[in-house]
Amino acid sequence: MAHPYDGGSTVNRIVSCIAAGLLGLAAPLAAQASLSSLSSLFVFGDSLSDGGNSGLLTQAYAGVVFPPPPYYNGQYSNGPVAVEYLWQSFNPGDNRFKPSLAGGTNYAIAGATTGTVNYNSVNPNVPAALQPTFDQKGSAWQLRAFAAQAPVFDPATSLFVVWQFPNDVFYASQTGQLPGTVPGSPGGTNLVTNGIQNILTTVATLYASGARHFLVPNMPDLGSLPFSIGTPQAPTLTGITSLFNAGLDFGLDQLSPALLGADIMRFDTAAFFAGVQANPAAYGFAVGDKACLDAAVPSVCADPNQYVFWDGVHPTTRGHQVLAEQFRATVVPAPQTWALLLLGLGAIAAVARRRAVGR
């Protein structure tokens, strides 16, 4: 079946001219607007945002929840993830935000690439009997689910999170192939530009569906995660991360002018984790470079809240909570100095007018 967004669409025309320059120097971040309330949250991503779709999928397919305990609720952590904390920070006690397979608007699923495929379909850490469950469950699958659901939302108070790409790297490493494109074609020959192009297409597609507020985090440094620290591949993973993050910034700068009225907020995930790992105590952690869960045994550390990372790739729920606080600070930024200055000047002008009238 053809993907509903392929072939000659406005989306494709918007992004078609961008790919050639994606790996140029990143331009300064665009000015960021604020979102004071949140009526709907839509998430497109992977295991860092999966609110339980992975477990729901494997339970329906094989009667088992994956990942299993001590992972939490079919998610890749020991508790809720950052986007769930972000929702609760706006809507305490409101449980409307849930996985798409449970009727919600969190479409993220573990293993998802930016294209058509899912890394967990070939991931050696996923039982062979469950790998087919994840076949073709990439970003394209998430967009199709969103289109089929056709949710009604208020663009002014709805946020769309698009956070993807690490699984593109893992999939290519495992198979030697690219993960395809959102429209369904095989894609180009460059892993990084293919991934960025897919993310830009996803953002443009959601914009065409009415989305106006976006949060697009970049990728954590894969060479500085517990699974790769000190390994021979760490420098290569860091290099890929740097190329991707710079290219994503550049691509979003090029895309933004075509999306009139869009508010594309960005978050530097790599810088965030670098800061936390360099000084974990400043964020309330004791350990920033090791995983709480030793999957080989398996065994769990005495106090997961003291660890930034739950396993070799994914944060603990406490790590996700701290990350969500930073997400919120990005979505609802503190007043800018210039904005305060303008308010002050406006107040002064108003006082002057009143005095002039009273003369």
How is residue 337 written in tokens? Answer: 């100095």
CA-CA distance, 157 to 212, in Å (whole number)? 9
Retrieve residue 84's tokens: 């769930």
Total domain count, the chain: 1
Q: Each residue of 182-214: pLDDT tens digit?
A: 888 776 679 999 999 999 999 999 999 999 999
In a domain, 343, yes or no: yes
**Is there a domain that residue 3 lies in?**
no
| pLDDT, tens only, 66-122 | 999 999 999 999 999 999 999 999 999 999 999 999 999 999 999 999 999 999 999
Please, how many CA atoms are within 13 Å of residue 125, restricted to the half-sphere of its CB?
A: 15
| Cβ atoms 286, 305 nearer than 8 A | no
225 close to 27: Cβ distance less than 8 angstroms: no
Q: Domain for residue 350, yes or no? A: yes
* Predicted model pTM: 0.86
Say how far apart CA 226 and CA 157 lie, in whole Å. 37
Q: How far is CA 204 from the centre of its chain?
A: 16
Dist. CA 183–CA 199, nearest whole Å: 12
Q: How far apart are CA 213 and CA 93, in angstroms?
A: 23
234 belongs to a structural domain: yes
Residue 4 lies in a domain: no
pLDDT of residue 335: 60
Q: Does 26 have pLDDT greater than 60?
A: no
**Does the pLDDT of residue 22 top 90, yes or no?**
no
**Distant-in-sequence, close-in-space partners of 79: CB < 8 Å, separation ≥ 6:** 72, 316, 317, 318, 320
Parent domain of 351: 10-18+34-358
Indicate which CATH number applies to the domain containing 237: 3.40.50.1110
- pLDDT over 90, % of the chain: 79
Tell me, what's the pLDDT at 334?
65
Tens of pLDDT, residues 209-247: 999 999 999 999 999 999 999 999 999 999 999 999 999
The answer to whether residue 2 sits within a structural domain is no
Backbone angles phi, psi at 134, to 5 degrees: -95, 5
* Residue range 295-330, pLDDT digits in tens: 888 899 999 999 999 999 999 999 999 999 999 999
- Could you tell me if residue 172 is inside a domain? yes
DSSP single-letter state for residue 306: G
